[in-house]
């Protein structure tokens, strides 16, 4: 899944943004976008998509 970076704009809730900032700080990543890329790489390579996406986990939807 190599390739160049593409600049995109996504909306996330404030707590999700804070989580990415916390991950970046805790693991000495350059920024929150790197934390997001790590999470996406995990989902793409090691994550079980049914486990990740089939169960509703939205804390705002319930």
Any idea where the domains of the chain sit in the sequence?
Answer: 14-53
Q: Which residue has the higher pLDDT, 47 or 58?
A: 47
pLDDT for position 59: 76
Instruction: State pLDDT tens for residues 8-42.
Output: 999 999 999 999 999 999 999 999 999 999 999 99
CA angle 39, 40, 43 (to 5 degrees): 90
Residue 1 confidence class, pLDDT cut points 50, 70, 90: low
Distances in whole angstroms, Cα of residue 49 to Cα of each of 2, 9, 44: 20, 23, 8
Three-state secondary structure string covering 20-44: HHHHHHHCCCCCHHHHHHHHHHHHH
pLDDT for position 58: 76
pTM over 0.85: no
Over residues 37-57, mean pLDDT: 93
- Which tokens is 2 given? 């190599």
């Amino acid at each position: 899944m190599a390739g160049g970076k593409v600049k995109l704009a996504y909306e996330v809730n404030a707590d999700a943004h804070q989580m990415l900032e916390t991950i970046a700080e805790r693991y000495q990543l350059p920024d929150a976008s790197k934390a997001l890329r790590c999470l996406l790489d995990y989902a793409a390579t090691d994550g079980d998509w049914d486990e990740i996406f089939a169960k509703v986990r939205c804390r705002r939807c319930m």
